[in-house]
Chain A
Amino acid sequence: MRRALILSAAFHVALGLLLLTGLPDFGEKLEVEEAVTVDIVAEPASLLDKPPEPPEPEPAEAAPLPERAAASPAPQVAARPEPREEPPPPEPEPPPPEPAPPPPEPEPAPEPEPAEIEPVPVPEPPRAVARPIAKPTPPELPKPEPEPAEIAQAAPKPPATPIRKPPPPEPEPVPEPEMVEAEPVEEPPEDEFSAMLRSVETLNKRVKADERREGEGTAESEKAVAKDNDAPVIASLTASEIGAIKQQIERCWNVPIGVRGIETMQVTLRIRMTVEGEVTSVDIEDRSRLAADSGFRIVAESAQRAVLSCRLSLPPEKYELWRDMVMTFHPRDAISG
């Protein structure tokens, strides 16, 4: 009860704030916002990764606004979905079954109505039957049914998502000339999923095949490895150096196979790094598509995740060549080998 009061009070305050600030409605807004936050921009010293810090205004606290807001209107909101639960518009109760019709064209006898009308919903025998979550029973419980309240970003989420920044405490980066090894990402095929075995097997084959193919293309790539303009000293990355980058990223890329139409997508990222090999920003090209196409967004996020989760091992003396690179992910090739 007290809680309800507090909630109510909080809601009113929130409401007042909203009115003042003219903040648009939560749910939708948030959603869009999320879509946007997908891309990452360089972050100073992450606020996020500083954990021990603020006794946390408790995410709930920060969240409250939308949460409450959605909650209090509950009564009405709940009312909307309710109808489903309600007996449907009384339909003419049909007469009991009778053999009706004329011979040839089976004329359906205006038989007993398909149970449309409910005679007093009996305490349902099949108690498992369709029970909407939120029963309006409890006084002011919002329904889970309708759109659940979107919780606000819990994180003191700055406009730009901080990238995995290497705060000292973290066993993170540290320019490491060595590659792959330390990569936790590379890891644990502890996957017991027998059901996915086939899938994985095929995949592995594909990956291998791909690598093979890749090797074949080396000569070609070699030529492609251009000479760099602004780095007069260093000529270029060798084909094997580029191949190493590619392979490292590919091992870190978890292709979201569940996305429909993924085979028609292609995601390009622009990546900037420190000389230590740390990613300072990952920008997704074609950002306009992020909000409009959830499938694309998911693929883009997976690519971004691959870059962020990978510890790239790069030749520091050629930093100028890889400090700013463009990576294009081709799901179709990854999936169909």
Chain B
Amino acid sequence: MSRLTRRAFQGAGLATLAVAGMGADPLSAQLRVDITSGRVEPMPIALSPLFGASAEDSSLGAAMMDVVAADLEGSGLFRVIDGRAYIQSPAELQDVPRFADWRQINAQALVNGRIERQGANGLGVEFRLWDVFAGSQMRGLRYDGERDNWRRIAHKIADIVYERLTGDGGYFDSRIVYISETGPATRRVKRLAIMDQDGANHSFLTDGNRLVLTPRMAPDGRRVAYLVYQSPAPQIYMRDLSSGRENVLGSFRGMSFSPRFSPDGGRMLMTLASEGNSDIYAFSTASRDARRLTTAPAIDTSPTFSPDGQRIAFNSDRGGSPQLYVMDADGGNVARISFGSGHYGSPAWSPRGDLVAFTKIKGGMFHIGIMEPDGSNERLLTRSFLDEGPTWSPNGRVIMFSREDPGTDRTRLFTIDITGYNEREVATPQDASDPDWSPLIS
């Protein structure tokens, strides 16, 4: 087999192994092997509880690593090896790990570290990520913060580990705003709620006296825009999270809804409905101007900015049924991108810009799907009686959505990886819908 043919062979992904035999080749004596298969499963990783000098610190250190473990396992890309299998204790681990002990349990990576109290409410945290088989440190970081924020520090550790081992940005130090629901369907009580990405630090932001819908978090994570039912027409409100203060965005002639922030936070897309026609407007928070972007005598709603702010995907029935379209940020160059059978809605442009997630309704079933911004490569990730409202994790690889179970009438939040694997329910105190995933907290 000549080199040429062999190369062609490899190029086709068919070659499995070969040995070079050309005398002129300096590497001719080398055995060459092509590896074309492997284990595709979560990476086994060991997370040693962070060491603390006192019993109290030790338990906090353990709790922190539990948070890290839940984050990493929740991604579906890691399998945290049971701590009972660990040979080295956290205390012993203060030095360079005895890698042999960790190879023994096939930990491909190891995280260890320690915490120390600093003053009344201070907390110093150090951690290191090791490549067990290479015997090298991959990352080592220190955080100093408030003890009360230990969960956030843990999420940051998880983000660093995730990033170093997957090459993708992490997404654990982020929050979710959503609508909490209670009561019978005919008189559903809805409240604005917010929580950490993993469900911790949950709190309600409104009391349920008003019907509220479709919250969206500002890129800076400090404000939330949402729809409030009021007379004479529902309007978009903006709430400052730190002060709890809220204001109506503007009093428009008809109903204003579907708020979406621009990537820079300076503009807001929304829909204004009047006389049976719904159009998308860009609202400048500085000039307070609303500029009309669509003019079709049809429903145009659910806009979503591309991450560069240059384009907008939206939902319209101008063609006779609800479909997805894209246009320039100024409303020009409109093009339809959904062509499959069924109805489409609630597009959400990935923060990476490479995909648009959407809700698809077909044959009486709902799906969450993704497609490229030009409409190609459509893939449906879920299927159920009612899945809707996709929102992206900060790194653009996980989608959260709400699902209603017709049997129990419960509505819950779920996440799924863009590969279509790892569907998981997100725990919330009550029923939940309309999730919106914040960028990484900064």
Contacts and interface: CB of A to CB of B under 8 A. Distances in A.
In their complex, do chains A and B touch, with some C-beta pair under 8 Å? yes
Given A56-B95, A326-B31, A330-B34, A195 B422 contact: yes
Interface residues of B, number: 133
A233 B300 CA distance: 78
A199 B239 CA distance: 41
Q: Which of A148, A214, A221, A270 has the most CB of B within 10 A?
A: A148
A229 B28 contact: yes
Interface string A126-161: 111111111101110111110011111111110001
Contact of A157 (B100, B136, B167): B136
Contacts, number: 456
A311 B20 CA distance: 24
B23 interface: yes
Nearest to B119: A138
B35 A330 contact: yes
Interface string A31-50: 00010011010000010110
A170 B100 contact: yes
A307 to B, nearest CB: 9
A306 interface: yes
B250 interface: yes
A145 B252 CA distance: 40
Contact of A108 (B76, B221, B289): B289
Contacts of A138: 118-122, 146
Interface string B141-168: 1111110110011001000100111111
Interface residues of A, number: 163
Contacts of B225: 114
B370 interface: no
B163 to A, nearest CB: 8
Interface in A224-268: 224-231, 236-237, 239, 242-243, 245-246, 249-251, 253-260
Nearest to A67: B142
Contacts of A309: 103, 106, 108, 133
B241 A129 contact: yes
B422 A196 contact: yes
Given A94-B247, A112-B247, A303 B122 contact: no
Contacts of A188: 106
Interface string B375-414: 0000000000000000000000100000000000000000
Nearest to B244: A125
Contacts of B243: 115, 118-122, 124
A132 B256 CA distance: 33
B165 A256 contact: yes
Nearest to B156: A144
Given A198-B421, A253-B35, A58 B95 contact: yes
B98 A51 contact: yes
Nearest to B148: A131
A101 interface: yes
A214 B144 contact: no
B39 A255 contact: yes
Given A128-B194, A156-B96, A298 B31 contact: no
Interface of B: 1, 6, 10, 13-21, 23, 27-44, 73, 75-77, 79, 82, 94-96, 98-100, 103-106, 108, 114, 118-122, 125-126, 128, 131, 133-146, 148-149, 152-153, 156, 160, 163-168, 175, 194-196, 201-205, 220-223, 225, 238-254, 256, 272, 274, 281, 283, 285, 288-290, 292, 397, 419, 421-424, 441-442
26 contacts: A40-B134, A51-B96, A56-B95, A60-B126, A63-B126, A100-B252, A106-B281, A108-B250, A108-B290, A115-B239, A125-B244, A126-B244, A135-B145, A138-B121, A148-B156, A152-B140, A161-B136, A184-B106, A191-B41, A196-B76, A199-B422, A200-B41, A258-B77, A294-B163, A326-B27, A330-B34
Given A245-B31, A246-B17, A304-B134, 13 more contacts: A108-B252, A120-B243, A135-B149, A143-B145, A207-B37, A217-B15, A224-B17, A237-B19, A243-B17, A250-B36, A258-B75, A308-B134, A328-B32
